Amino acid sequence: MANLQSLRVRISSVKSTRKITSAMKMVAASRLRRAHDATIKAEPYAYAIRRSLSGLIQSLVERQENFFVRGLGVIRPPRLLIGHQQNKTHLIIALTSDKGLCGAFNMNVCKRVAAMVIETEKEGKRAKILCVGKKGYELLKRDFGDLLIGKIEGVGRKAIAYKEAEDVAFRAISLFELGEVDSCSMVYNHFKTAISQEVKVEKLFPLDDYLPSNPWKGLTEMDFLMAPPTPEVSSDDWDLGVSAEGENLPSQTLERSASRYALKAEDSYAGRGAGSWTPGGGHKKSDSRKMSIPAGMAGMKATAIDLDALKPKYAPFLYDFDPSDAVILEHLIPRFIVSSLFKALAESLASESGARMTSMDNATRNAGEMIDNLTLIYNRTRQGRITTELVEIIAGAESV
């Protein structure tokens, strides 16, 4: 009976495991819905800020080229746009999970990171790795422990928060500003379907890929130092705040303080609308710039008469920059990096939930098949024992 007893224990153990995997599948399915909704909601904002960034960069490039033609000198561009003079160190942000039981979700990211490290070293550069998620750190530390500069855990434990993306972006941008890294890319799982994820690599900075042409190419560090400085911009100002619908928002000025993303509202109203701001020290109206962007980006539509009047010179619409495009880029580029990270984190969380749901579904079905097989073996063994006992009883009766 020892064999039957062990089979009963094993069947009971597999049934308990099936209950656990089934529950984890339902939890992952619930998290998948929320994470997928977050990716859908983040997409319009990411698209809008990308279009705005492209328009501002185009305007700045055209203005710099015009300055060179007129002999007016150099406009100092944001470093996150053109990068450092030398590109020697590349930062790789690996977006993985804190928990396992999600198939090859983490391993696929780590394989891509390993390939990028090898390719970076072949180009004569040095790679650094920042892991978002405990599992990626554990998988990479054996082979690339000397390249790991840290790990960030607990991201997206309940749902992806914008502040979590800000924290990751601030760490990467701080390394860039200190000169410890010269460029940065992130590796994450792009959500396609619940059963399909694709590993993607996305460059965060510098944003030289957005430059239609690079008028600053060939300039030395001394050229930038001799250029007139753009008005001071605090890296704290990444959050402009949100006002309630219909509420008049006072004009806001940057305030240097220990807390990041701090804004100080003045008592006077400037009549600019929600989210507008004026950097410290103020700017003259003469610093304004004009550019053309699609009406859908601004949420407004010009009349037919205005449209016809503006098309010949400023197609399709006319906008004023206050402050200048270079200063706005100083604020917009960090926000663009944060929005890209937020979208990637949302995609990674959705992919993780989908991978875990698929993995737990497979585990539940495999457990059911194992229970059926063990039950069949158990019944056959028990029937064989009963048959043997009956034969022994009949043989004993006949011998008497």
Domain map of the chain by residue range?
2-26+359-399, 32-227+330-355, 252-320
Question: Helix crossing, 2-70 with 325-399: angle to 10°?
Answer: 170
Which band of pLDDT confidence, cut at 50, 70 and 90, is reported for residue 93? Answer: very high
For β-strands 183-193 and 196-205, DSSP reports them as antiparallel
> With b meaning 16 or more CB within 10 Å and e meaning fewer, what string describes 110-122?
bebbbebbeebee
Over residues 268-289, mean pLDDT = 33
Closest among 288, 275, 369 to 325, alpha carbons compared: 288
CA distances from 211 to 62, 87, 328 (A): 11, 17, 16
Mean pLDDT on 15-39:
86
Q: Which residues of 303-340 are buried (b: 16+ CB within 10 A; e: fewer)?
A: eeeeeeeeeeeeeebebebbbbbbbbbbbbbbbbbbbb
Give residue 4's pLDDT.
Answer: 83
CATH top class, domain 2-26+359-399? mainly alpha
What mean pLDDT is predicted for residues 375-386?
87
Strands 290-291 and 263-265 turn out to be unpaired
Would you list the DSSP string of 262-277? -EEE-SS-----TT--
10 Å Cβ neighbour count for 375? 14
Inform me whether the pLDDT recorded for 243 exceeds 60: no
Beta strands in the chain (DSSP E): 89-95, 126-132, 148-152, 183-193, 196-205, 252-254, 263-265, 290-291, 319-320
Query: Which of 12-16, 33-37, 339-343, 367-371 has the least mean pLDDT?
Result: 33-37
More confident residue, 312 or 240: 312
Architecture of the domain whose range is 32-227+330-355: 3-Layer(aba) Sandwich (3.40)
- CA 54, CA 58: separation in Å to the nearest integer? 6
Burial class (CB in 10 A: 0-12, 13-18, 19+), 96: buried
Q: First CA to last CA across the chain, in angstroms?
A: 28
pLDDT tens digits, one per residue of 310-328: 444 444 444 566 677 778 8
Q: Which residues neighbour 224 within 8 Å (Cβ) at sequence distance 6 or greater?
A: 74, 76
3-state secondary structure of 242: coil
Percent of the chain surpassing pLDDT 70:
76
Q: Which residue has the higher pLDDT, 186 or 328?
A: 186
Pair of tokens at residue 79 = 């470093």
Residue 245 and residue 239 in contact, taking contact as beta carbons nearer than 8 Å: no
Q: Is the peptide bond before 229 cis (omega within 30 degrees of 0)?
A: no
Task: Work out the average pLDDT over 58-78.
Answer: 81
Give the residue among 263, 260, 206 at the shortest CA–CA distance from 235.
260
pLDDT surpasses 80 at 241: no
